[in-house]
Amino acid sequence: MSDIFREVEEDVRRQRLERLWREYRYYILGGAAFIILAVAGAQWWRAHARAETTAASSALTAALDLIETNPTAGMDALAKLAADSPDAYRTIAMLRQAASLSEKEADAAVKLYDRIAGEREDDPVLGGYARLRAAILLADKAPLADIEARLQPLMGNNLPWRYAAREVLAYAALRSGDREKARERLEQLAADLLAPAGLRDRAQRLLAQMDMARAAPAQSSATDPAPAP
């Protein structure tokens, strides 16, 4: 009977860890979105004298505004931008299009992110961001080996998405049952003083949850009644 209770307790803790991840992943995406907007602004600033780039900037702004009030028309406008705009704005439009798809059509969003990552393979910011977003969408369901393959190109020491990639990989390992790999990743993040403070805090909280989950079965075993002689 005690084994059943331990299984229930373990399942509850696992669900708590997964809820904690789902809450925190929006912070990852929020920070990433800010960087993407900064990149878009920098691209415009460097090329603002080019008439076609200025037109693309205006069209992108209009499409982003439109998607808030008329999602279908906004998506159509983004699709047109993705086909016709100068390189950077085309990518930004495709990223926004994929983000909108991810809310209800995750598989389609992953395909679009993969396409962007392929087209921007040499761009560590935009191409890397697309690769990261696809991995986040798949982290709840894809095999750990697939997530590792997607994130490995992002994890070099000088790459912009390395910390987010390591955090996603830690969650994917935890979800797949590889707690030792998850713990190793989280401990590295928690100890890395160059990592963003919010990310270190999340790593520490996840480690604390894992410690609680590991301690509970031992405590249950200690209180189990001795077998009858």
Q: What is the pLDDT of residues 43-72, one digit of tens each?
A: 544 444 445 555 655 665 676 566 557 767
Residue type for 221, please? S
Q: What is the pLDDT of residues 114-144, one digit of tens each?
A: 999 999 898 887 888 899 989 999 988 899 9
Instruction: Give backbone dihedrals phi and psi of 224, rounded to 5 degrees, phi first.
Output: -65, 140
CB 129 within 8 A of CB 136: no
Residue with tokens 């086909």: 83
H-state helical runs in 120-196? 126-138, 144-151, 162-176, 179-191
H-state helical runs in 47-178? 51-69, 71-84, 87-102, 106-119, 126-138, 144-151, 162-176
**pLDDT at 94 > cutoff 80:** yes
Confidence (pTM): 0.67
- Give the model's pLDDT for residue 41: 47
- Both tokens of 168, joined, read 């996603």
Reported residue count of the chain is 229
15 pLDDT band, cuts 50/70/90, is low
Give the Å distances, CA to CA, from 29 to 2, 10, 33, 135, 191.
Answer: 41, 29, 6, 12, 22
CB 125 within 8 A of CB 35: yes
- Give the model's pLDDT for residue 152: 95
- Give the model's pLDDT for residue 108: 96
**pLDDT at 207 > cutoff 60:** yes
42 pLDDT band, cuts 50/70/90, is very low
- Both tokens of 34, joined, read 């800010």
Report the range of poorest mean pLDDT among 17-31, 89-103, 192-206: 17-31
- Give the model's pLDDT for residue 74: 67
**pLDDT at 33 > cutoff 70:** no
What is the rounded average pLDDT of the residues 1-29? 55
**pLDDT at 147 > cutoff 70:** yes
- Give the model's pLDDT for residue 95: 84
8 pLDDT band, cuts 50/70/90, is very low
Torsion 123-118-148-212 (CA) sign: positive
> Looking at the domain covering 2-223, what would its CATH class be?
mainly alpha
Kindly list the domain boundaries of the chain, sorted by start residue: 2-223
For the packed helices 87-102 and 2-46, what is the interaxial angle rounded to 10 degrees?
150
